C-alpha cells in the first residue's frame, strides 16, 4: 500500500457571476495519522500526508515525549486502509514514562488541544527562553517576504498553513506546510531537529494566527521570536510573556506589531497612544 499524495485534483464548478465553468481544482489531502510508541497508541491527528518523518519527530519533541530526535530509536511509516500509522520505538524507560502520563488525542486539523484530560494540560508551563538574539525591522520584513515563494503546496491549493525558520546569514532554512497550523509547526520542529539546526539564532515564521498552542510549541523548540501574519490571542500573549518569547503579529508589507518582549527588536520606536 502506498502513501496518498499531499495534493489531489478534483472536479468542481466555478461560478463567476451567472456563468458556471466545470474544471479541475487542486486541493490538499487530509488523512488520519496515528502516532504510536512501542505499539501503544498516543494520538490521532488529521494532517497532510507529507514530511511525515519530520511530523513524527517534531510532535514527539513538542509533546515532551522525547528531548532529542536521537531518542526515537526506530520510525516506520505504515499506510493502512484507515489512514497512516507512524510507529516509533523508544527506550523502555522512556516508554514507561510516557505510559504513566499518557493521554488520548483526537486532533482535528483546526484544534491542537482536543482530548486533554485536565485543564492544567491545556495551559502547561512552557520552558523559558533566555536568548539575547536581536533583529531589526528589515530582517523581519525580509524573512516574511520570503514565505510566499517557498509555500509550494499553498501555491497549488491556497488552503494550507506554513511554518518556517529564517536565519540572518542563511535566509529561509526550512519550511513545512499542512492543513493544520499545529501540524505545520510540528513538521518544522522535526525538520530542524533532524538537521541539527538551533532555533535560538533565527526567526520562527507562521502563516497563521498565534494561538497558545503555537507559543507552547515555539517554547519547546527554543525559538526566541515568533513572527506571524495574523494576531495572537490574549492567552498566547500571556504565555509568551511568561516564556520570554517575543511575539510579532500582523506582519505585513507595511509593518508589524510587537506584543511581548520588544527588547529583541532593534531600533524600534514606540508610539504611545493616549
Q: What is the pLDDT of residue 96?
A: 75
HSE, CB side, 13 Å, CA atoms: give it for residue 77: 15
Q: What is the pLDDT of residue 101?
A: 60
Question: Residue 92 belongs to a domain with what CATH number?
Answer: 3.10.20.10
Q: What angle do CA 232, 31, 163 make, to 5 degrees?
A: 30
Same domain, 98 and 160: no
Same domain, 60 and 153: no
Same domain, 161 and 114: no
Whether 217 is in a domain gets the answer yes
Same domain, 160 and 69: no
Own/partner contacts of 86-94, CB < 8 Å, gap of 24 or more, are: 86/33, 86/34, 86/35, 86/36, 86/52, 86/55, 86/56, 87/36, 87/39, 88/35, 88/36, 88/37, 88/38, 88/56, 88/60, 89/37, 89/38, 90/37, 90/38, 90/65, 90/66, 92/38, 94/65, 94/66
Backbone angles phi, psi at 75, to 5 degrees: -140, 125
Same domain, 89 and 159: no
Q: What is the pLDDT of residue 274?
A: 42
Give the chain's domain count: 2
Residue 9 CB coordination number (10 Å): 11
Q: What is the pLDDT of residue 273?
A: 47
Whether 10 is in a domain gets the answer no
Whether 148 is in a domain gets the answer yes
Considering only CA atoms, which of 23, 25, 38 is closest in space to residue 90? 38
Q: What is the pLDDT of residue 272?
A: 47
Q: pTM value?
A: 0.91
**Each residue's pLDDT expressed in tens, for the chain with a length of 274 residues:** 899 999 999 999 999 999 999 999 999 999 999 999 999 889 999 999 999 999 999 999 999 999 999 999 999 999 999 999 999 999 888 877 777 666 545 455 545 555 455 556 666 778 999 998 999 999 999 999 999 999 999 999 999 999 999 999 999 999 999 999 999 999 999 999 999 999 999 999 999 999 999 999 999 999 999 999 999 999 999 999 999 999 999 999 999 999 999 999 997 455 444 4
User: What span, in angstroms and rounded, lies between the C-alpha atoms of 257 and 212?
Assistant: 17
Active site residues: 111
Domain that holds residue 88: 31-122
Amino acid at each position: 500500500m502506498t502513501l496518498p499524495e499531499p495534493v489531489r485534483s478534483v472536479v468542481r464548478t466555478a461560478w463567476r457571476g451567472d456563468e458556471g465553468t466545470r474544471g479541475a481544482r487542486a486541493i490538499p489531502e487530509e488523512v488520519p495519522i496515528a502516532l504510536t510508541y512501542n505499539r501503544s497508541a498516543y494520538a490521532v491527528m488529521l494532517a497532510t500526508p507529507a514530511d511525515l518523518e519530520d511530523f513524527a519527530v517534531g510532535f514527539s519533541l513538542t509533546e515532551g515525549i522525547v528531548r532529542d530526535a536521537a531518542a526515537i530509536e526506530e520510525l516506520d511509516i505504515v499506510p493502512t486502509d484507515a489512514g497512516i500509522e507512524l510507529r516509533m520505538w523508544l527506550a523502555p524507560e522512556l516508554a514507561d514514562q510516557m505510559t504513566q502520563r499518557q493521554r488520548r488525542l483526537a486532533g482535528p486539523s483546526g484544534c491542537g488541544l482536543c482530548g486533554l484530560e485536565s485543564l492544567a494540560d491545556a495551559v502547561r508551563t512552557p520552558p523559558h527562553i533566555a536568548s539575547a538574539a536581536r533583529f531589526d525591522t528589515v530582517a523581519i520584513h525580509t524573512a516574511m517576504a520570503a514565505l510566499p515563494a517557498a509555500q509550494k503546496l499553498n501555491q497549488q491549493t491556497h488552503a494550507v498553513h506554513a511554518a518556517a525558520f529564517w536565519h540572518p546569514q542563511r535566509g529561509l532554512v526550512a519550511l513545512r506546510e499542512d492543513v493544520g497550523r499545529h501540524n505545520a509547526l510540528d513538521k518544522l520542529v522535526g525538520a530542524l531537529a533532524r538537521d541539527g539546526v538551533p532555533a535560538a539564532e533565527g526567526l520562527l515564521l507562521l502563516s497563521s494566527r498565534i494561538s497558545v498552542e503555537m507559543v507552547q510549541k515555539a517554547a519547546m523548540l527554543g525559538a526566541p521570536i515568533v513572527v506571524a501574519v495574523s494576531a495572537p490571542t490574549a492567552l498566547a500573549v500571556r504565555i509568551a510573556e511568561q516564556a520570554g518569547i517575543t511575539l510579532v503579529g500582523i506582519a505585513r508589507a507595511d509593518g508589524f506589531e510587537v506584543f511581548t518582549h520588544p527588547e529583541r527588536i532593534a531600533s524600534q520606536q514606540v508610539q504611545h497612544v493616549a
